[in-house]
Amino acid sequence: MKDGFIKAEWDRLNKIVIHRPGIEMFLGLLEPYASLYERVFNRQEATREHEFMEHILRYHFGIDVISLGHIIEREAESNPEIKEKLIDLARSTVDITDDTELMQRAKSEFEKSLKTFSAQDLFQVIVMQIALHEKQDRGKSVRQIHLNITERSPLSNLYFMRDQQFTTDSGLVLCRMAKPSRRFEPQLTKFLWQEILHVPIIHEMLEPATIEGGEWIPFGEFALVGIGDRTNRDAINQLLSLNLGYEEIGVVHQAKHPLVAGDQPDPMINMHLDTYFETASSNVVVACVELIQEAKVEVYRKDGQCYTKTDTEPNLFDYIREKGFSVVPITVLEQMAYAANFLCIEDGRILAVDVERGIDAVMKSIASIATENPERYGKLYEQAKKDYDMLTSEGRFFPHKLELRKLGIDAYPIVLENLTGGYGAAHCMTCALNRG
């Protein structure tokens, strides 16, 4: 299979793209909530976890691992045309606002800087999303200038490389992110696909559509895509108009968690489809049953070059069982600890988060929201405590499950205690580019 074409999630994973988090993660940790992080965590340890994950993927599983920043920097330094385009992209990200008399000088100086910056510096300019503001003191000596350099929306979530795009059996679909802080990310990955790797983009989502790659899971003859807080109806309509090879597409509605009180759901608990449901093989899925029983599925069948809605609307549990898949259940607590957000390496082999190593941080996070709003999150916390006691006494935290072994799933656990603080695990952090 060529790069940019994936039929099924369990086909042998050959090539991925990742991004090692840098200074932008530090900036995100200054305000975790606004940065879409779940909790505060240790950035240095997160970097080490990411390095180890890359090592395992590259040397244990033999996967071709491409680093977003490294390949862009390398190609830009060796190819003047690519570097010029990288300069253009960096220029577009910088906002210069000065006193009128300083504006032209500031822009001129910045233009000179762009021409002399290394590719690595240009990449950092893009990732940090810089704003420059200067103000001159009136009537004073020269260079009495107040300079403010701020980061408007640093790409602190860029290491979640699954979301800026998703890979279908007909090519890449470039996403349009729902949250303002992530809106620029697809433009950076588009630079990689178009200018360096030359991977076909079959569609770029157009406003007002919003969709993120964690919602998309291909199953060979059919595919599933989530709809909810991060993905809207406009994106689904654009997707269903594409001439894809899947005979059927199921649109999975983001379920309201049954243990969270109130009329409004908390979309961060089951943010994407891959945060509570994922396939481990050609006949086994792992899921939080409480959520997939609540998640309605709109079923669309291939009709010529697009898709037509059928009359059936099962829940996701019934839908996937009817497709012949066994369901390995995970507890509510394990789901919130990213048990379902594993990466399928090949049919029956997965790279999974070692839930036990990060469970205390997750329990602390649930306890915190329950303390702040006991009426809304009290039942969720009580269930989490029950799950914790049961899993501790049995010593069967995911992926150390007898059900997985019995169904022939070989799970490789990896510690991602800090990285998951950003709201995602191995699946979210890898853009699958080639399977087959």
Tell me if residue 33 falls in helix, strand or coil. coil
> CA 414 to CA 399: how far, in whole Å?
10
CATH numeric code, 13-68+157-435: 3.75.10.10
Give me the residue label for tokens 């191995």: 426
**Nearest partner of 202 among 242, 152, 155, 236, judged by Cα:** 242
What H or E segment, with its residue span, contains residue 397?
none
For residue 192, the 8-state DSSP code is I
| pLDDT at position 102 | 66
Amino acid at 282: S
**Spatial separation of the C-alpha atoms in residues 296 and 253, rounded to whole Å:** 5
> What are the counts of helices (DSSP H) followed by strands (DSSP E) for the chain?
14, 20
Cis bond before residue 208 (omega within 30° of 0): yes
Domain boundaries, the chain: 13-68+157-435, 72-151
| 233 in Cβ contact with 227 (< 8 Å) | yes
- Given the structure tokens 């040397």, which residue do they identify? 59
Tens-level pLDDT at each residue, the chain (436 residues): 799 999 999 999 999 999 999 999 999 999 999 999 999 999 999 999 999 999 999 999 999 999 999 999 999 999 999 999 999 999 999 988 765 566 777 778 889 999 999 999 999 999 999 887 766 666 555 555 555 666 578 999 999 999 999 999 999 999 999 999 999 999 999 999 999 999 999 999 999 999 999 999 999 999 999 999 999 999 999 999 999 999 999 999 999 999 999 988 898 899 999 999 999 999 999 999 999 999 999 999 999 988 999 999 999 999 999 999 999 999 999 999 999 999 999 999 999 999 999 999 999 999 999 999 999 999 999 999 999 999 999 989 999 999 999 999 999 999 999 999 999 999 999 999 999 9
CA distance 55 to 413: 14
CB 314 within 8 A of CB 260: no
CA pair distance 238, 211, nearest whole angstrom: 10
Q: What is the DSSP letter of 315?
A: B
